[in-house]
């Protein structure tokens, strides 16, 4: 990883979501573009009231060019639906827009993005927030949380509460759906899934309150 890198030079200043998505395809703001198939930009309606931030695209997303289309995406869709949130009102993106992996034979294994890569990609997240102007931002997982929230928010301490946020009405942090997929114990998995749905129910209730 080269030092001091940033996507800033690749982000058009005042741009619509489609313009941002197009420009993101040429991003070389950190080294992750070298091995990934393509940039995976966010997706969703331009005035989405809910803005979800994941970690980075996975293997499926890297190939499809769309966020959350693999197993974690299906888990997320199920939880949104169980919480009564229509996926059509949600903008979904990632803290990092390229897939980071290591090759093991024919498999590409997910590797966590580091703090410098998350920081380098931040200008895209900021541009998406400016374009969408959501009411509620939801950060999913400990790796994704600092991207929109900064270092003073911690997943375990701050989960499931509405926190103040400069570019939206509120921020809520919750777990990442991949965490549920990795759980071997069925009972614990079910309990944790229900908590995940409860977090989204809080979001849904808040949307209804002042809609």
Q: Least separation, in Å, of the C-beta of 76 and ligand URA?
A: 8
C-alpha 44/C-alpha 92 separation (Å) is: 6
- CB of 59 vs ligand URA, minimal distance in Å: 9
State which of residues 10, 41, 68, 124 lies at the interface with ligand URA (CB under 6 A).
Answer: 68
Which residue of the chain is nearest ligand URA when measured via CB? 54
For 150: left if phi > 0, alpha if psi spans -120 to 50, otherwise beta; the answer is left
Smallest gap from residue 94 Cβ to ligand URA (A): 5
Residue 146 sits in the site that holds ligand URA (CB under 6 A): no
How is the chain classified by DSSP, letter by letter?
A: --TT--SGGGS-SS--HHHHHHHHTT--SSGGGGTSSS----BS-TT-SEEEEES---HHHHHHTSTT-SHHHHHHHHHHHHTT--GGGEEEEESSSS--EEEETTEEEE----HHHHHHHHHHHHHHHHHH--SEEEEESTTTTHHHH-TT--HHHHTTS-B--TTSSEEEEE--HHHHHT---HHHHHHHHHHHHHHHHHHHHHHHHT-
Which one of residues 24, 39, 94, 174 is an interface residue with ligand URA (CB under 6 A)?
94
Site mask for ligand URA (CB under 6 A), range 165-194, x = bound: -------------x----------------
Q: Select from 42, 44, 49, 54 the one that contacts ligand URA (CB under 6 A).
A: 54
Q: Which of 44, 67, 113, 134 binds ligand URA (CB under 6 A)?
A: 67
Can residue 58 be called a binding residue for ligand URA (CB under 6 A)? yes
Quick one: 77 or 82, whose CB is closer to ligand URA? 77
Asked if 61 touches ligand URA (CB under 6 A), the answer is: yes
Residue 57 binds ligand URA (CB under 6 A): yes
- Positions in the binding site for ligand URA (CB under 6 A): 54-58, 61, 67-68, 70, 72-73, 94, 178
């Amino acid at each position: 990883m080269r030092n001091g890198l940033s996507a800033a030079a690749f982000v058009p200043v005042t741009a619509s979501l489609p313009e941002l998505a197009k420009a993101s395809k040429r991003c070389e703001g950190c080294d992750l573009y070298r091995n990934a198939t393509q940039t995976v930009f966010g997706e969703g309606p331009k005035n989405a009231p809910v803005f979800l931030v994941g970690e980075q695209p996975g293997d499926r997303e890297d190939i499809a060019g769309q966020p959350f289309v693999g197993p974690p995406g299906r888990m997320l869709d199920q939880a949104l639906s169980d919480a009564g949130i229509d996926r059509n009102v949600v903008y979904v993106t990632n803290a990092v827009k390229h897939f980071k992996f290591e090759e093991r034979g024919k498999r590409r294994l997910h590797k966590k993005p580091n703090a410098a890569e998350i920081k380098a990609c931040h200008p895209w997240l900021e541009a998406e927030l400016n374009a969408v102007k959501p009411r509620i931002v939801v950060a999913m997982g400990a790796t994704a949380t600092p991207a929109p929230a900064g270092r003073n928010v911690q997943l375990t301490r701050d989960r499931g509460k509405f926190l103040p946020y400069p570019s939206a009405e509120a921020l809520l942090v919750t777990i990442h759906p991949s965490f549920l997929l990795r759980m071997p114990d069925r009972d614990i998995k079910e309990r944790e899934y229900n908590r995940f749905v409860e977090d989204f129910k809080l979001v849904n209730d808040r949307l209804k309150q002042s809609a």
